[in-house]
Amino acid sequence: MSKPVVLLVGSIEHASEEWQQLGDVATLVTCTSANRDEFIADLQGKYSEVVAIFRTFFSIDVTGRYDAELVSHFPPSLKFLCHNGAGYDQIDVDACSAAGVRVSNCPTAVDDGTADANMFLILGAIRNFGQGIFQLRKRQWDRGVDLANDPQGKILGILGMGGIGRTLKQRAEAFGMKTIYHNRRELSPELAAGAKYVSFDELLATSDVLSLNLPLNAGTRHIIDDAAFAKMKDGVIVVNTARGAVMDEDALVRALASGKVRNAGLDVFENEPEIHPGLLDNDKVVLIPHMGTSTYETQKKMELEAIGNVRAAITRGQLNTIVAEQVGMQ
């Protein structure tokens, strides 16, 4: 009996040995489609017997989003889609569910790397390092930098207390910050580890620093908008390492201009790689180009977690880390 076929869409950069080891349970095929139209044709042709797909974040440049149109061209054999990343907004999970395709992500591999970047942005914003860097690069040492604040005693509000949010809480405690959070549901006392669960409105009204750590979906797009900013403290710090579109960037620019938001720290943007000029040219904003997971260790952990999902799919017919929307499909 022939082995089930697994299709790699993208490339394995750090765990190629572990990927090749999957050859003991599957026939491994690498996607050679040049563009979306060719990929769709190949799904009905040379990839028509594929059981599982391993896809990378940057493979979107070839295939486009895994939206309802693309999913409609999946071959009947395809049952598993293993995404190499924590955020999976490039995939229409509802369309996959309707087609009987289960989706996995890498929810834990990115916790340390993203929380470290998150803490860097919090410190940079609260200490006004962005303005200092901005002025120094313009050779303007003598202009001075606005007086900043210490993190000690400040209230960190985490919107989305998943693995990254919980890891960030640990980092922030080392700097003397106090954590409150809002989630889809309250965590167990063990997972919350002393962080106080509050309503969304209380999170906005109480936080000295608001950190966005929630997934992007139809319900969270622009969850931080003009109305949300109006509920925040004057001079709040806002940091986003989730997805750019969970916050309305136009609204953020207005909030920065009015002083409602004193400083911001951003790793993600609505229209990457384009950056809103009101952010790019603003010395009140600390900017990094989506670097939260840009470490060797994190990248390898992600690949290993995704490979583990492929192996589990082939050998057990289940995924180790199925996405939250599909837990009932396991």
- pLDDT category, 327, cuts 50, 70, 90? confident
Residue 142 has pLDDT above 90, yes or no: no
**Angle 129-137/111-126 helices, nearest 10 degrees?**
80
Tokens matching residue 270: 């609505």
Residues 6+ apart with CB under 8 A from 183: 160, 161, 162, 197
Whether pLDDT at 308 is above 80: yes
Q: Is residue 188 scored above 60 in pLDDT? A: yes
Q: Which of 13, 69, 272, 297 is catalytic?
A: 272
Average pLDDT over residues 26-53: 97
Looking at residue 103, its pLDDT comes to 98
Give the C-alpha distances (Å, rounded to integers) separating 22 from 26, 110, 307, 308, 319. Answer: 6, 23, 8, 9, 15
User: Edge-to-edge strand order for the sheet containing 285-287?
Assistant: 196-197, 178-182, 155-159, 209-212, 236-240, 261-266, 285-287
The burial class, CB within 10 Å (0-12 / 13-18 / 19+), for 211 is buried
Q: Which residues of 110-133 are buried (b: 16+ CB within 10 A; e: fewer)?
A: bbbbbbbbbbbbbbbbbbbbbbbe
Give the other-Cβ count within 10 Å of 183's Cβ: 21
Q: Which residues pair with 285 in a beta bridge?
A: 264
Q: How confident is the model at residue 330 (pLDDT cuts 50, 70, 90)?
A: confident
Q: Catalytic: 243?
A: yes
Judged against a pLDDT cut of 70, whether residue 76 lies above it is answered with yes
First to last CA, the chain: 26
Of 55, 243, 262, 276, the active-site residue reads: 243
Over 70: is that where the pLDDT of 48 sits?
Answer: yes
Where do the domains of the chain lie, and which CATH numbers do they carry? 5-109+297-329 (3.40.50.720), 111-287 (3.40.50.720)
Q: What is the pLDDT of residue 328?
A: 86
Quote the mean pLDDT of the chain. 95
**Whole-number percent of the chain with pLDDT over 70:** 100
Q: How confident is the model at residue 105 (pLDDT cuts 50, 70, 90)?
A: very high
Percent of the chain with pLDDT over 90: 92
Q: Residue 1 pLDDT > 80, yes or no?
A: no
Is 184 a catalytic site residue? no
The whole-number pLDDT of residue 2 equals: 87
Q: Is 49 an annotated catalytic residue?
A: no
- A 10 A CB-CB count for 8 gives 21
Q: Is the pLDDT assigned to residue 312 strictly greater than 70?
A: yes
Q: Provide the token pair at 116.
A: 């470290």
The three-state DSSP-derived secondary structure of 7-29 is EEECCCCCCHHHHHHHHHCCEEE
Structure tokens at 34: 């040049």
Strand order in the sheet with 50-56: 27-30, 5-9, 50-56, 80-84, 102-104
pTM, two decimal places: 0.88
> What mean pLDDT comes out for the span 166-184?
97
Residue linked to tokens 């954590």: 179
